[in-house]
């Protein structure tokens, strides 16, 4: 068709925004939720909701969609221009995961490709998506899972890499595995939390958290809540609140508290208020200066007495004397696989090869956290991952400590105990999959 007879291309603000967010995720390593929040401000309510579902759903199912695209195109993904792949991913989600009519999903994807990539790719996009539309998702699932074993079929059906499904199968009863994977695909309601001593939970509105006395679930923009704007409250998953609360409940000697890996500062803000109530102060340490600024912002509403302190320091090379702190939180860097419902792209971004480096760092940070504790002091080892190599295996090698019964410090939370450890799950608790171990440094009182 000549240029003079070509149908005019129509820009769609929601799809254009979704494409630019997805490009930032796949090309630049951006987090989808943060990039969406940054870019969707100019969209109206329906367009913003459409863009959010388009990005989140595409990121969640990307592994399966990539296999669909390869089958429909007859080409390996690496032979296609990356921007074209992202257009095809968004179109595939509209066809297989949303209630968008096929003609609309294909036509708008072709227009998007023309406007964002160039006219030369429109024929390819049109042809591939027409092939995709020949089957629904169950039909594609049946074709793609042919020859897979049970775990392989479950991985494909639940939109998870196989290695994650295998890891979950090691720590969950078989009857719960499918529910656990399904829970990763349900976006959570935003959860707010007060800074103890600075705000009352009633100011948050919404529905009070089930177990944390500080939080509430609330739809909408957190910036609409005055206490959040003023720094007297913030955004934090209930699971993160609970692990901080357990540390504060453990019997420990007097003295200051330490958060070893504080960024971005949600747990620090909760612990700072609890420390003030106990008559002491929190030192929040963060390696990265820009993340230390986020910690300071989260702590900004706390003043004297016992005002918390934020420092830039490497937790593996302590800037403090050994044996200084009564309570130490080591919320260590991890794969983040416990928060896949919030950051669905992480399941495709991480791989088993990430584990050795992370586990080595986790072991070093825990060792230094133990050294930072005073005799009888309590250390909370925390990850936002249920992967056994990042959790129980790290704790098992800790030296100079006694393992406390972490679940006994959260008696109100059912089905959280994993021996003397705590493992929360989205499908059981409606929280991120937070892991907690409580350790007492030698020389102090026994656990009660």
Please name the residue ranges forming H helices in 32-101. 32-39, 45-60, 62-73, 82-96
Please name the residue ranges forming H helices in 97-218. 102-116, 122-132, 137-144, 150-157, 162-171, 174-183
Torsion of CA 215, 218, 224, 227, to 10 degrees: -10
Residue keyed to tokens 């005055």: 226
Of 261, 334, 384, 399, catalytic: 384
Question: Is 59 annotated in the active site?
Answer: no
d(CA 386, CA 89) in angstroms, rounded, equals: 29
Helices (H) and strands (E) in the chain, counts: 19, 13
d(CA 288, CA 272) in angstroms, rounded, equals: 20
d(CA 190, CA 341) in angstroms, rounded, equals: 12
Structure tokens at 171: 């720590």
- Check whether the bond before 264 is cis (ω within 30° of 0): yes
- Check whether the bond before 305 is cis (ω within 30° of 0): yes
User: Under DSSP, is residue 234 helix (H, G, I), strand (E, B) or coil?
Assistant: strand
Residue 421 β-bridge partners: 418
Q: Which residues of 220-237 are buried (b: 16+ CB within 10 A; e: fewer)?
A: eebeebebbeebbbbbbb
CA angle 382, 58, 434 (to 5 degrees): 10
d(CA 201, CA 218) in angstroms, rounded, equals: 12
Q: Active-site residue numbers?
A: 384
């Amino acid at each position: 068709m000549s240029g003079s007879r070509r149908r005019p291309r129509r820009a769609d603000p929601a799809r254009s925004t979704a494409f630019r967010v997805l490009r930032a995720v796949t090309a630049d390593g951006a987090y989808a939720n943060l990039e969406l929040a940054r870019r969707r401000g100019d969209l109206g309510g329906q367009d913003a909701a459409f863009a959010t579902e388009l990005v989140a759903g595409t990121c969640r199912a990307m592994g399966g969609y990539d296999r669909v695209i390869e089958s429909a195109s007859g080409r390996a993904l690496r032979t296609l221009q990356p921007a074209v792949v992202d257009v095809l991913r968004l179109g595939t989600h509209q066809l297989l995961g949303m209630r968008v009519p096929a003609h609309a999903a294909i036509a708008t994807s072709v227009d998007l490709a023309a406007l964002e990539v160039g006219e030369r790719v429109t024929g390819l996009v049109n042809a591939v998506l027409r092939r995709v539309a020949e089957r629904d998702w169950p039909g594609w699932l049946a074709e793609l899972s042919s020859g897979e074993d049970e775990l392989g079929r479950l991985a494909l059906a639940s939109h998870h890499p196989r290695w994650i499904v295998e890891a979950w199968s090691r720590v969950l009863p078989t009857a719960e595995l499918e529910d656990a994977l399904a829970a990763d695909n349900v976006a959570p309601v935003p959860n707010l939390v007060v800074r103890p001593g600075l705000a009352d939970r009633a100011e948050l509105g919404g529905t009070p958290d089930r177990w944390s006395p500080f939080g509430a679930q609330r739809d909408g923009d957190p910036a609409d809540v005055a206490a959040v704007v003023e720094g007297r409250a913030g955004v934090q998953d209930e699971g993160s609140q609970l692990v901080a609360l357990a540390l504060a409940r453990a019997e420990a000697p007097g003295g200051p508290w330490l958060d070893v890996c504080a960024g971005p500062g949600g747990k620090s803000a909760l612990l700072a208020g609890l420390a003030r109530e106990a008559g002491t102060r929190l030192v929040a340490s963060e390696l990265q200066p820009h993340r230390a600024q986020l910690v300071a912002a989260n702590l900004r509403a706390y003043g004297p007495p016992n005002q918390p302190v934020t420092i830039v320091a490497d937790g593996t090379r302590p800037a403090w004397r050994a044996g200084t702190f009564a309570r130490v939180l080591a919320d260590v860097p991890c794969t983040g696989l416990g928060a896949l419902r919030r950051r669905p792209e992480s399941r495709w971004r991480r791989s088993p090869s990430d584990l050795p480096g992370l586990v080595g760092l986790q072991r070093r940070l825990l060792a230094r956290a133990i050294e930072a504790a005073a005799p009888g002091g309590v250390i909370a080892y925390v990850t936002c991952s249920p992967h056994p190599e990042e959790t129980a295996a790290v704790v098992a090698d800790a030296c100079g400590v006694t393992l406390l019964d972490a679940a006994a410090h959260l008696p109100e939370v059912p089905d959280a105990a994993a021996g003397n450890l705590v493992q929360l799950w989205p499908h059981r608790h409606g929280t991120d999959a937070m892991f907690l171990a409580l350790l007492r440094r030698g020389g102090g009182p026994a656990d009660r």
